[in-house]
Structure 1
Amino acid sequence: SAGRYLALAARTRPRRGALVLMHGYSGSGKSYCAARLAAALGAIHIRSDVERKRLHGLAPTAHMAAAGGQGIYDAAADRATYARLLQLARAIGAAGLDVVVDAAHLHRWQRQPFQALARELGLAFVIVDVRADDALLRERLRQRALGPPDASDAGTEVLDYQYATHEPLTAAERRHALPL
């Protein structure tokens, strides 16, 4: 009888949610991995490309020129997009659900609020560091441009901008990182 009560308690005990942060250059496969990871975990998948366009009143697959640091990709738009991702992650995490935040997260200012949020809400925190070599990144971006409409507007010019401006994961962040 006591064993059944313990088993029932284990099954009904609230479990801690998780905040999974995707990290990597455009074309690395972040969205592909994020979608599959979210499906496997039963997590909510929030994608920066979609949220950025929603903030600007655009359809998710509307194609916009994506020159690094300009238009809907300028510094103010980046701040607004990451603030929206953080707001959504907070609501999802506070509900005890797992969330996968699908964005490049190439700068510390983009990553640190999510780590602080996970700590605040008592969520497990993982950074999925998606990697690919330069030739593969460029080929994937060329293929994406030729394929069906996608929420991502990134091309090779964006990749070059990312190379020039990214900030590597810190030692503290690497302790939470899972390289793929």
Structure 2
Amino acid sequence: MSFLSELVKKKDKLKVTDTVVTKIDGQRYVERGGDAKNVEKLTPCYGFVVDTKPDNVPVLVIDNLYIGSQDCASDSVIDVNNIKHVLSLGVNVYVNVNHKYIDCLDLPETDIKCVLREGIPFIKEAVDKKENILIHCNAGVSRTSMMAIGYLMHCENMQFEDAYILVKEKRPAVQPNDGFRKQLMALNPGQVI
């Protein structure tokens, strides 16, 4: 008996299931009984979390360096925290202070070296002047933490793990994606850019 015939026998004994399929455009459908032709369309589901409540409290990581979500990049939050500079990663906002936007996708395959090379000097200039700066992305989780950790590694000569722990203690929601994390871990303190 061939391996293929054994597989066919085993396949026939498998329990019939329904599979929910979500396409890249958010369209969803159910394949009934494993039959790709027997489908039921469902309500679309977007490939991102819909933000239903504001996250507008920036967190001070070290003197003059704040991190947060895009909700923190509002005039009222900027005024209350005396923020003079805003670094936006992947989410461009309009603010009435010194602002820098860096295009950066929150994908593991994004090369962070050029992002860090462009962002760290902007942060360092603000911190050296003892002026508050806010680093933000959409949710203040992955790109924001990547930049803050990269800054701490380069300008404060911190090891990755120490920088990560510091940022995580200040804002527990932070979590650089796996690709960002691996790239940061490969960098040497003081030699990030």
What TM-score comes out, normalization by structure 2 length? 0.37
Bigger Rg, which one? 2
Indicate the structure with greater helix content. Answer: 1
Indicate the structure with greater strand content. Answer: 2
What TM-score comes out, normalization by structure 1 length? 0.39
